[in-house]
Structure 1
Amino acid sequence: MLSLLLLPAMLAIRVMAEMELRVPEQPVVALHGSDVTLNCTFNQTGPFNFSDVSVFWQLTDTKRSVHEYWNGHDQLVDQAEAFANRTSLFPTQLAMGDASLRLSRVLVADEGSYTCFVRVKDYSSAALALQVAAPYTKPLLTLEPESNLHPGDEVALTCVAYGGYPEGDVIWQDGSGRNLTDNITLSVVANKEGLFTVTSVLSVVLEPNSTYSCRLINPLLGEEGFVFATITGQNIAFPQVALWVTIGLAVCLLVLLIALAAVCRRKIKESCEEARRESEEAKELEEEESKTAMTPLKS
């Protein structure tokens, strides 16, 4: 009699043990804006009706409903608004033990832990992690100030990359491969989609023929963007803008000197002519006085 009473409980334990739910152990990585499948499969050895299958997907932390399915249909009355029109199951695969969820147009806000619940004759659940990634644009490098640079000047090199996720790692190096990352300031700003703009500023004292490189690495995708700049001694000692300004000043000075020489030459010529005229007038006056002195007086 006792064995008959324990039999239903033993059968229930056996069925529960046979119900095995499998999800990825490693986080699932999805590209921002793309579609992703969150795999969840179950192993039910005993026969079951298709209508007996119930599937519930929800956020692990907040318990918000992501997708629900029972009685052979999607049940989305309680679905969180953020997932509206973006989720689906594979109904034809349910009979083969596939309760995976398809999530469309992935957003940064979708990142987190998801729990898959499956009930056939018994109930089981498992959680998996979703991580979102987005590649950064190629970094841009700017220099401040851009001109009138000389060896020994302190300048700021700015490296900017846009539209990535998660936060990128920035590495600065000089031409010899020496790491300069300790001398930087870093700013990370998210846009309305949650994607980051990473701005890194390196302050250095310039040396002739200096090379600086900025490398930005997306830790989740393993991708990296690279940009470098070489500032030559010529550019530092004599920037192109300063060269043309100097040439212009030199031309102006030369014209001024030529004009001044012409004026001086004219003045000297006039002074010489005036001195010659004065000399001639003095000579004529002296001759007249001499003639007057030699004329005899009448008695």
Structure 2
Amino acid sequence: MELREQLSSCLFCAILLATIPFSESFEVISSPAVTGIIGQDVVLPCQISTRTQQDNMEVQWKKIIQTHIETVYEYRAQTGQDVPGQKYQGRTVLLKDGFTSGNVSLKLKNVRPADEGTYSCIVKSNEWSADAATELKIAAVVSMSIDVLGPQDQGIDLACRSSGWFPKPELHWVTKNGQDLQPVTKTEQGLEFLYSVLSHVTTLGEETGQISCVIQNSL
């Protein structure tokens, strides 16, 4: 009789354990770095290993700053509530349809220099939490112009100018043979953190058509 009671008890335990829903653990993966172009949209990548969207799942995007952590975006699956950070109103879109493929990447609209930094993708359920970080680098490449300012001593004074670069660019004057010239260059950063560059160089008249002004962005 005692053995029958023990077997019945074990069978009841097995049935009870089978009916308890176990939370699936998961991993969060992101790219080490992405580059955004000023004025355009960029996607901050975040992939979770599970394709099951749990009712209690939350996705948080945070920007890690030296002195504090800034909320960029939060999404709660249970309520379907989207909560963009105060500084990111109207600029964030979570790819929620990507839950079926484990994609919870965040689109950041109209990228600006101040967006540069490290972002953390945090995925939570009631029983599990995982995160991954990616560094957002910001770049801007714009057009430039060369002006002939007129005679200067034995040569001709040329000016190369351009505005709207990020990060700080490097400028070189190069002859057809690849020789670097020694210009006078001034670089300034404006209110929007964008850089303007103005450079002057004097060259012999017959060499003018063989000279290039090259502005390079480190990214």
TM-score (norm 1): 0.57
Q: Which residue of 2 aligns with 1:296?
A: none
Q: Quote the offset at 1:48 in angstroms.
A: 5.8
SS in 2 for 1:94: helix
Deviation sequence 1:166-185 (CA, Å, 0-9, x none): 222211123543212xx233
Residue in structure 1 matching 2:207, options 206, 210, 221: 210
Q: Which residue of 1 aligns with 2:79?
A: 72
Distance 1:214 1:75 in 2: 48
Structure 2 alignment gaps of length 5 or more: 1-22
Q: Quote the offset at 1:208 in angstroms.
A: 5.5
Q: Which residue of 2 aligns with 1:57?
A: 61
Q: Which residue of 1 aligns with 2:107?
A: 102
Q: Which residue of 1 aligns with 2:199?
A: 200
Q: Quote the offset at 1:95 in angstroms.
A: 4.3
The 10-residue stretch of structure 1 (134-143 or 96-105) with the greater mean CA deviation from structure 2? 134-143
Distance 1:176 1:96 in 2: 54
Q: Which residue of 2 aligns with 1:163?
A: 164
SS in 2 for 1:93: helix
Give the length in aligned residue pairs.
192
Q: Which amino acid aligns with 2:90?
A: N
CA RMSD of aligned residues (A): 2.6
Q: Which residue of 2 aligns with 1:126?
A: 132
4+ runs of 1 displaced by more than 6 Å? none
Distance 1:127 1:117 in 2: 9
- Does 1 or 2 have the higher relative contact order (CA < 8 Å, sep 6+)? 2
SS in 2 for 1:186: strand
Q: Which residue of 2 aligns with 1:225?
A: none
Query: 1 or 2, which has the higher helix percentage?
Result: 1
Structure 1 alignment gaps of length 5 or more: 1-14, 221-299
Distance 1:39 1:186 in 2: 39
Larger Rg, first or second structure (1 or 2): 1
TM-score (norm 2): 0.76
1:19–1:44 Cα contact (<8 Å) kept:
yes
Distance 2:39 2:177 in 1: 40
Q: Which residue of 2 aligns with 1:6?
A: none
Query: 1 or 2, which has the higher strand percentage?
Result: 2
> What percent identity do the matched residue pairs reach?
26
Residues 195 and 48 (structure 1), Cα distance of their counterparts in 2 relative to 1, 3 Å cut: closer
Distance 2:113 2:82 in 1: 25
1:167–1:198 Cα contact (<8 Å) kept:
no
Residues 142 and 44 (structure 1), Cα distance of their counterparts in 2 relative to 1, 3 Å cut: same
1:137–1:164 Cα contact (<8 Å) kept:
no
Distance 2:58 2:44 in 1: 17
Residues 39 and 208 (structure 1), Cα distance of their counterparts in 2 relative to 1, 3 Å cut: closer
SS in 2 for 1:178: coil
Distance 2:103 2:79 in 1: 14
